[in-house]
A = this chain, B = another copy of it.
């Protein structure tokens, strides 16, 4: 039996066919066109799934489940998308609307959770009893997997690790709190720190990598550090210290077998991880026990599709 995973994004709907070995064997996508009514977006998701089935010469009976990962808050029990930022879903029961198009069982989950599940089944956390995936992008996303199950709370809204305050009364966060981990460890946070350093240091080599403040991105500080610029080193040191603080919190709370880093900033890979480890090793609780590994995530965008396909497991 195969399953279908759908990753509902703000820009594209990506769907894939996942076989029994948890391999993504076919994939296609259509634009989300997120300003349309929810019903039309759901229709397109269903048609995308059905066309994948047809094009791969399968019958609906050979597909055991369709899983959908979407941004925002999802009730995995009812199949309801309770709220999505940037998309028109408001207490929309996707599972029910899908029934108009197919009788294949439909499962829904949060997209960051689905990506973590995908890595746990088929990626960098395969074979681990527990894993936490942290996505360092525009925000800081989190997905917690224990024994191949998503930890999403009794209401489906859990795993919002980025909205853990690490600096009481610190930088404002989009969620309304102050001092959330996301406000420091997202690419957005890193860009803010980089710009502040550039304004303070007109002599810095950072200006070579980003001739105007508008050109600063999540790589600028790391590029400057590799070029030997002292201001860039200060920025990266500051960023790494906040990131390590949050990661150590996650270790003390979950002691997962592995933490995976994904998203834009995690493209720095082992270079970033090597900068993080000294503080984490110094601060983590339980010095006498086996250590949580920290590794880059492996599957990129496919993690969300594969994990969505596993939501019904």
Q: Which residues of A contact B (CB under 8 A)?
A: 73, 75, 82-83, 91, 128-130, 142, 144, 146, 151-161, 163-168, 170, 175-177, 241-242, 245, 248-249, 252-257, 282-283, 285-286, 288-290, 292
Contacts and interface: CB of A to CB of B under 8 A. Distances in A.
A129 B154 contact: yes
B283 A151 contact: no
A255 B129 contact: no
23 contacts: A73-B286, A91-B288, A151-B151, A152-B255, A154-B257, A154-B290, A155-B286, A157-B255, A157-B285, A157-B289, A161-B252, A163-B249, A163-B285, A164-B253, A165-B166, A165-B248, A165-B249, A166-B168, A167-B167, A168-B170, A176-B282, A176-B283, A253-B253
Given A75-B289, A158-B256, 17 more contacts: A73-B289, A82-B288, A130-B154, A146-B146, A151-B254, A152-B255, A154-B257, A155-B290, A157-B255, A158-B253, A158-B254, A161-B252, A164-B252, A165-B245, A166-B168, A168-B242, A177-B248
A166 B166 contact: yes
B177 A153 contact: no
A158 B257 CA distance: 11
Given A166-B166, A176-B283, A289 B249 contact: no
Copies of this polypeptide in the complex: 2
Nearest to A164: B249
A245 to B, nearest CB: 5
The list of the 3 closest CB pairs from A to B, nearest first, reads: A153-B255, A157-B286, A158-B255
Given A155-B289, A289-B156, A168 B245 contact: yes
Contacts of A73: 286, 288-289
Nearest to A130: B154
Nearest to A152: B255
A5 to B, nearest CB: 24
Contact of A83 (B159, B256, B288): B288
A79 to B, nearest CB: 15
Contacts of A170: 168
Contacts of A82: 288-289
A252 B152 contact: no
A253 B289 contact: no
A36 to B, nearest CB: 21
Q: Which of A165, A282, A290 neighbours the largest number of chain B CB atoms within 10 Å of its CB?
A: A165
A258 to B, nearest CB: 9
A146 B254 CA distance: 13
